[in-house]
Structure 1
Amino acid sequence: MKHLPQHLLPFTTSCIKKLVNLRAGETKVGQTSHVYNTELSLSQNLTEAVNNGARFAILGIGEDIGPRANLGRGGSTDAFESAMIQFLNLQSNRFFNGKKCLVLGQIKTEDLQLKEGASASDLRANVEYLDERVIEISRQIMAAGLEPIVIGGGHNNAYGLLMAAKQTYNKKIAAVNLDPHSDFRPREGRHSGNGFSYAAASGALGHYHILGMHELKNSEETLAQLSAFGGQWHTLQSIWIRREISLTSALDEIVTTLNNSLLPVALELDLDAITNMPSSASTASGIPLLDALHYVYTIAKNTPCTYLHLAEAAPSCHVAGIQAGYRETGQSISELIYAYIQGRNLAQQLS
């Protein structure tokens, strides 16, 4: 009997066969990773994966209703697929064995996607429906003892992940976010620009730090709200332009503050923080991918992370076309996944 969860598009063995290029004498990550078994329920799949050595569950959210509800560009629908094409074809070897990962699938969003020209109010209503699905599925992943690695969609999905973490750990969550935007905009209806302000109002967010925040891409109203909450930040200009503080020193401060909060940690990264990354708000004045990788690794290694969220990648927004976008976002996200896993594995060894 097949068990197909209501709001999940499962990633199965047939998906692996379509994406993984086999080569004699090599073992790819996709050949050793766990995938969804449709003969089992979602909870049984999660338990089975844990019992067989998995620590991480990779989950996609292919939607752009959040960015569009924020009056921005669409395109953040294909990040999961682009990432899996690259990640699952990496080598499974002495440095990393794919059995640590369950590639779970993608949250269903097709029924929530609205055509171009849809009103902001309709889009924002559907973001609320999506929130429910993100909470439902990610909470089950966390409750099973797996760390979600969530790929794709708008940064609106941070709200659902923070809510799920709060419900799982029965504590507020401390979030750190590498992002030119604070996403702490007014609560005018759900969209990609206010996931953290809604999480703060709901009681899920206990501490919030933004790394690489652009000084001129956040309104004064947003900054005032963030300050009133007690939010902290290091700006793009202070680290990478004026060089008032080094990235290493900023990360040391962030790690210390997160650990002093005694709260579980949410590790967030908006791909539009990275220079020329295809995204809904791509920028020429971003940070190098290597610095983003170091950020993910450092936080993962040194704080009690509950999940990694990689938001806003939009392969179709690449200036050279969607194929180039698939390659760039896929390779970048794959490296970010590996940086997180490296950090978490080392943290486990040192504990």
Structure 2
Amino acid sequence: MNWLNLYTQEYISSWVSHRAGEQKIGDKFFYPNIQRPLKEQFTVFKKQGGQFVLFGINEDLGPQGNLGRGGSGNGYEATIKQFVNFQSNQFLPGSDIFILGEIQTQDIQPDSGNTELIRQAVAKLDVRVIELTSLIIAAGLEPIVIGGGHNNAYGLLTACHQVLNTPMSAVNLDPHSDFRALDGRHSGNGFNYAASERALTQYHVLGLHELKNNAINLQQLKQFGGTWHTFQQIWVRRELTLEKAMQDIAQNINAYQQPLGVELDVDAIPQFPSSAETSAGIPLLDAAFYISYLARHCHCQYLHLAEAAPNCHPTSEQAGYRQVGQSLSELVYSYIQGRKSYTYTHT
């Protein structure tokens, strides 16, 4: 995996700010060893009580292939720079977290902006995402994946499907369904591709914007059997509460008794640096509640936080790094804490 940039402890040591009498979780993480095979490291980590593997995907090929703007490559680095400075305490010791690194894509970046070539590159990226995710899932660990476009949902769902030998469910907090036509790989059709291959058989979109999904897209999703709650239903017209929506979603998902992929596109959060920033969106705290609720009540297999683009912050890249890092760190913590309070019983 020469395309995997490992975040060793030496690599990130300068990011951890120490104070006398304090311990940061960055000092407690399990870090990769460049001299040992990853499969072996995951086995050791699991035996030591490990549960979560954080990795990033440094790419914006998917959004470009969807005729959108780029910039979604640095979300993982921005997050880890903030995350390592949380306090190690009774709420989050940090020793059950493996900070892995990020998938790089410079070697498959097309020389031109030709859409077809970009979509071919996304298909090559799919192979990398599937390979790495499969190793993690096979070791009995849970990936927490940050960065890149929402195209990477396809690779995550496919890897889980292949390793676990079962179809997947997914819930996606997103103004877009990402169920566009199968016209070549990009950030707008990852779930449709997974569905077409039976890797995904149950799909719900929370916060779907009523005016940001074309009629054909919605019809395809309906024919598949996908469901949704719209942004306007919950946050504008207040026809039901978010908590009631989450209760219904969890009940329906659990009825299928399938592993769940928890998906979140930061495009859903207002004024968030992303490939498709919105003014009217879902508060960050509601996004954290969404993740926490599913993590506590469903058989989750992974968390995927997509489309963060620190470079797209209107003020500066530095401000973008700070906002993305702080926000996604909170979302990661919401997932980890939720999973620690969940006990899965298959009936």
TM-superposed CA distance for 1:250, in Å, is: 0.5
Q: Aligned partner of 1:10: which letter?
A: L
Query: How do 1:9-24 and structure 2 match up within 5 A?
Result: 9-24=5-20
TM-score (norm 2): 0.98
* Counterpart secondary structure, 1:189: coil
Whole-Å Cα distance in 2 between the matches of residues 170 and 71 of structure 1?
A: 34
Pick from 182, 186, 191 the counterpart of residue 196 of structure 1.
191
TM-score (norm 1): 0.97
* Counterpart secondary structure, 2:107: coil
Whole-Å Cα distance in 1 between the matches of residues 345 and 169 of structure 2?
A: 22
Q: Is the 8 A contact 1:272 1:279 kept in 2?
A: yes
Q: Aligned partner of 2:184: which letter?
A: G
Q: Does 1:174 align with 2:169?
A: yes
Query: How do 1:1-351 and structure 2 match up within 5 A?
Result: 5-114=1-110, 118-348=113-343
Structure 1: runs of 5+ lacking an equivalent: none
Q: Aligned partner of 2:147: which letter?
A: G
TM-superposed CA distance for 1:150, in Å, is: 0.1
Whole-Å Cα distance in 2 between the matches of residues 188 and 38 of structure 1?
A: 38
Identity %, equivalent residues? 51
TM-superposed CA distance for 1:7, in Å, is: 3.2
Q: Is the 8 A contact 1:64 1:113 kept in 2?
A: no
Which digits, 9 at most, give the CA deviation of each residue in 1:227-281, with x for residues without a partner? Answer: 0000000000000000111101100000000000111101000011111110000
Whole-Å Cα distance in 2 between the matches of residues 265 and 350 of structure 1?
A: 14
Q: Aligned partner of 2:75: which letter?
A: A
Whole-Å Cα distance in 2 between the matches of residues 161 and 347 of structure 1?
A: 22
Which digits, 9 at most, give the CA deviation of each residue in 1:120-143, with x for residues without a partner? Answer: 000000000000000000011011
Aligned length, in residue pairs? 346
Whole-Å Cα distance in 2 between the matches of residues 18 and 167 of structure 1?
A: 38
Q: Is the 8 A contact 2:26 2:84 kept in 1?
A: yes
Whole-Å Cα distance in 2 between the matches of residues 183 and 102 of structure 1?
A: 30
TM-superposed CA distance for 1:282, in Å, is: 0.7
Query: Considering only aligned residues, what root-mean-square deviation do their CA atoms show, in Å?
Result: 1.3
CA shift in 2, pair 1:65/1:99, >3 Å: same
Structure 1 runs (4+) greater than 4 angstroms displaced: none
TM-superposed CA distance for 1:348, in Å, is: 3.8
